[in-house]
Amino acid sequence: MALNRIEAVPLYQMVRERLISQIEDGTWRPGIALPSEFQLGAQLGVSQGTVRKALIDLEALGVIERKQGRGTFVKAETPERSMFHFFRLSKSDGERIAPLTLQSRIRERDASRAEKQAFQSSADLAVVEIRRHRRFEDRPLAEETVILRADFFPGIALRDDLPNALYPFYQQEFHISILRAEERLSAIAASKTQAKALDVEPGAPLLKVERKARDIRDRIVELRQSVFVTGDLTYDIDLS
């Protein structure tokens, strides 16, 4: 398990990359405690200080978390955190809402030119398309399209048990952790198809949110477009 030193690459970065690789291949699963800094140093043939520096980097990225008196753990994505960290709609009093998936359709197909560009792939690429309708309380809330690289999520197109919150599912089943996302918001008028799905009049104002989600290697692994009926809801972003 010892590292082979590569010239011009800081040793702590090599340790960090080794740990990321072990998280990705399932050696260290979400919620599992890592060995101590001393043990990791002995396994990798590096000093405890080098391991500590690598762990500080991983903690800053949100890959691991330190728990006082208990150790260092691979950070586990929970449905609650996923929903409230990445889903930004709130009531007028500031209370965050948690929508439910009403129905879901999934299929595998060839990527469009725009999708290949977004995934930074020049080769032929298969993607998985997930279309979902969401409700909040007793009303339609959102129409959502999720596009995934099929090679990153093998077999997902055959699943008929997709959960309401997808990011914990990605982490548990495919060892892909979503660490950050870029979003673009715009106001649109409802098309006839959208109006029927969301129970509004054609031309009604909707909020469109386009997202690119990135994993621990900063790769774009998911494209998501959501169209919301906001009504008395607001889309909250904390810039602090």
Structural domain contains residue 1: no
pLDDT of residue 77: 82
pLDDT of residue 116: 95
pLDDT of residue 3: 65
Residues 193 and 222 in one domain: yes
d(CA 199, CA 24) in angstroms, rounded, equals 42
DSSP 96: B
Structural domain contains residue 215: yes
End-of-domain residue from the set 27, 53, 74: 74
pLDDT of residue 233: 85
- Which CATH number belongs to the domain containing residue 196 in this structure? 3.40.1410.10
Residues 43 and 159 in one domain: no
CA 216, 217, 223, 229 dihedral sign is positive
End-of-domain residue from the set 74, 99, 119: 74
Average pLDDT over the chain, rounded to an integer? 89
The arithmetic mean of pLDDT across residues 1-22, rounded, is: 79
Q: What is the pLDDT of residues 165-221, one digit of tens each?
A: 899 999 999 999 998 899 999 999 999 999 999 999 999 999 999 999 999 999 999
Question: Residue 56 is part of which domain span?
Answer: 11-74
Residues 89 and 33 in one domain: no
The arithmetic mean of pLDDT across residues 146-160, rounded, is: 94
The arithmetic mean of pLDDT across residues 89-117, rounded, is: 87
**Side-chain half-sphere exposure of 64, counting CA atoms within 13 A:** 24
Structural domain contains residue 6: no
Q: In angstroms, how far is the first alpha carbon of the chain from the final one?
A: 41
pTM of the full predicted structure? 0.84
Q: Are 34 and 72 in contact (CB under 8 A)?
A: yes
Residues 147 and 134 in one domain: yes
Structural domain contains residue 3: no
pLDDT of residue 240: 54
DSSP per residue over 165-206, as a string? -HHHHHHHHH-----EEEEEEEEEEPPHHHHHHHT--TT-EE
d(CA 126, CA 108) in angstroms, rounded, equals 7
Distances (CA, A) of 158 to 107, 133, 224, 236: 8, 19, 20, 35
